[in-house]
Amino acid sequence: MKKHTLLLILILILFSPLFAVSQEISTADGGEVCLLVIDKLALDDLSNDNTPALVNLVKTGSVGLSSNRTLGRGNTEDACLTIGAGNLAQSFGQRIMGLNSDELVETRNQTASQLHQNLTGKNPANTSVLMIKISELLAGVAKNNVNTQLGTLGEILGKSHIPVCVLGNGDINQQFYRASVAIAMDASGRVPLGNVGPLTSNHVKDSFVTTQTNYTYLEKESLSYTQKPLVKIIELSDLARLEKADTADPEILKQEKRNILKKIDGFANSAANNLDFNRDLLMVVVPSAAADKVKQKDTFTPIIIKGPGYKEGFLSSGATRSDYIIASTDIASTILHFYKLQDDTGTMIGQPIVSRKSQQSDTLSAAKLIEDQAKIVNLIRTPLVKGYVILQIAVIVLILLCLVSAKKMAELISPLLLVLLAAPLVFLLLGKLGLVVVWHNIIVAIGSILLITLIFSKIYKNNLYTALVVIAAATLIIINYDVLTGSSLIKSSVLGYDLMSGARYYGIGNEYVGVVVGSSILLASSLYQRFNKPLVLWLIALFFLSQCILLGSPGLGAQSDGMITTPIAFLLTLALITGKKINLKALLILGVTVAVTVIGGVVYDMSSSLEMQSHIGRAANQITQGGIHNGLTIIMRKLAMNIKLINYSIWSYVFLVILATLGILLYVPVGGMTFIKSQYPILFKGFAGILAGAIVGGVINDSGIVLAATTSIYLVAPILSLMINIPSRVSSSTTDSSTLSQTNDKLSIQLD
């Protein structure tokens, strides 16, 4: 074990640098950043007919899709707070209430300046716009297990003497909607320049959208701010007003939207014409998706950037490592990088957005294709995953009942166990078919799973266990290939991660980490049971090592919890199958080995360039900058997420059913588990390793119940397949040696 441990550490250290790359990012200083905030704008809205200026910006600049994850429901206010903080945030209360400092807060009979000072104790002198409810917002964020600091972007810009200006509002029907103030404000809720008052909007009588943006006034007001450097944030919220307005006839609604788009496009054209793109930056940002898009589970929003370093290409970032996709938390980091500023708070999780040259001339269509594919995956995820989970429970319970009461029936339906392992394989490949109709995907998925089950049940008619191992091996090989080539299969899989939600953008998600752990141990223990030789053991050790690198390398899987789970599960499995005693000393060696391995990987990740650090390295940097408090915050957030998923995730039911099944199989059929342990000790120890991996992954992972459930599939299905082939006489206390010999011969077929 000491040799295995040393080899594991050395190869991790030697090979991890092979998986990192660097990316140069262009910068300019002294210019203006103009941020056009066009809430509810969709990629579909961009056309030569309605928005020629925006389409031209796409052609001459760079376009991407923004993942707008927040701490809350992802509404406009949550999104703007998140953009301004450069970290996940959430609004609290009815509205966030941004006002001009001299505006009267009628319900308080005080000006915004007076009320802000009374609430915060800070003098808002020389401040044009104020976030009145800043104290309420700060108190709300403090209750979450995050290190988010609201107003970080404005705070850093202010300290660097770069003024921030915010213009425009989304008010409608005498209600304040001024979310862009959350992007512009500093940590005290202050914006030095701007106007978000009633003059920036008009009350109209020729439309059912009774309040609309005063584009003429905004254009004139915008031109009055001539100093540079300057960050100018302009809110154009008529599309959001359209959603809040009274219900209109469909044709009237379409016409009104066309009118709004043309007005927005005209303003964008004027803004672009007033900028020098050799030194100025124009960003078109959409905080939240339109309501009809959300219903379709399409929450990507377009983002367009033009300026130094952003010409004729598509957008990406170190946070997503995905073509055309950025996170809304990247916007603040991009603005800071434009001015060559650093986040001295250590709380921003975004990375500067970069532009890359596209091989396709029509980047707008390319972005649309990616959006449509992600939407389809989201639409089919619920029916397929929920159906798979229900099927798992049904198959496990049905076969268990048959084992207890109708053994012949259990043998008859035993091929159903193949379904449990065939589904992850099919789900891995389904997204690459490019099917654009939901029910087409569902039919193909079900048909493929049944086809694999039928083929393998015929090929391995008397070798169900072998069929399970072969399917597990095929799945593992494809996962390895996919991760080494960019994880495109996992990204498009219903068992992968949701790019739109932004929980993960690259590497291996929790579902497939469980698949890797379970299938690796199943394959390794089966091989060693069949070929019990020292060379095979060394090959298994190297194989386990390769899977640790696959999951833990910053340039590949980048799975922080998997980086801990896999070494523990694999080293424990090696110890068990080699006959090592698991005592306090062994556990101590195991703990030190895993700790050294993880620390080495984290240190290497931290030493990479900032834009190429994975979330593991960035989290470690946050801890080193913020101290033990940040570390505890991350731990508490993971615990909270795990508890939440245990209570609400459908995977919890699978794991509980599997644990209950394993408990029952210890006693029923009588002697069955004892027979497997005595006749196939290495397999039995491998099963123990899989169970250990499931439990460890379930405890330390922030989505642990998912990892535990998918790992356990590769435990319960093989055990049930072996149990089915144990004759009832084996469980009798009068079993003779000839019966045991015949049974052993029958089971040995399973491993050939």
Identity (one letter) of the amino acid at 347?
Answer: T
CA dihedral 303, 189, 29, 220 (to 10 degrees): 70
Q: Please report the pLDDT score of residue 559 as a whole number.
A: 62
Q: Please report the pLDDT score of residue 12 as a whole number.
A: 45
- For 418-429, write each residue's pLDDT tens digit: 999 999 999 999
Lowest mean pLDDT among 357-366, 594-603, 657-666: 594-603
Buried residues in 523-543 as b, exposed as e (16+ CB within 10 A): bbbbbbbeeeeeeebeebbeb
Residue 267 to residue 536: CA distance in whole angstroms? 69
- For 716-732, write each residue's pLDDT tens digit: 999 999 998 876 555 44
- The residue-averaged pLDDT of 302-331 equals 94
Q: Report yes or no: 212 and 222 within 8 Å, Cβ to Cβ.
A: no
- The residue-averaged pLDDT of 271-276 equals 96
Tokens, residue 519: 């299938």
Q: How confident is the model at residue 244 (pLDDT cuts 50, 70, 90)?
A: very high
Question: What share of the chain in percent tops pLDDT 70?
Answer: 83
Q: Which residues contact 522 (CB under 8 A, 6 or more apart)?
A: 468, 469, 472, 686, 690, 714, 715, 718
Lowest mean pLDDT among 418-422, 435-439, 443-447: 435-439
- For 567-590, write each residue's pLDDT tens digit: 888 988 998 998 877 777 766 776
Q: Report yes or no: 581 and 306 within 8 Å, Cβ to Cβ.
A: no
Identity (one letter) of the amino acid at 700?
Answer: I
Tokens, residue 36: 């056009």
User: Which pTM value belongs to this model?
Assistant: 0.86
- For 510-555, write each residue's pLDDT tens digit: 899 999 999 999 999 999 999 999 999 999 999 998 998 888 776 6
Higher pLDDT, 6 or 206: 206
Residue 211 to residue 202: CA distance in whole angstroms? 6
> Which DSSP symbol is given to 29?
-
Q: Which residues contact 644 (CB under 8 A, 6 or more apart)?
A: none
Does the CA dihedral 71-75-77-79 come out positive or negative?
positive
Output the average pLDDT for the chain: 86
- For 34-70, write each residue's pLDDT tens digit: 999 999 999 999 999 999 999 999 999 999 999 999 9
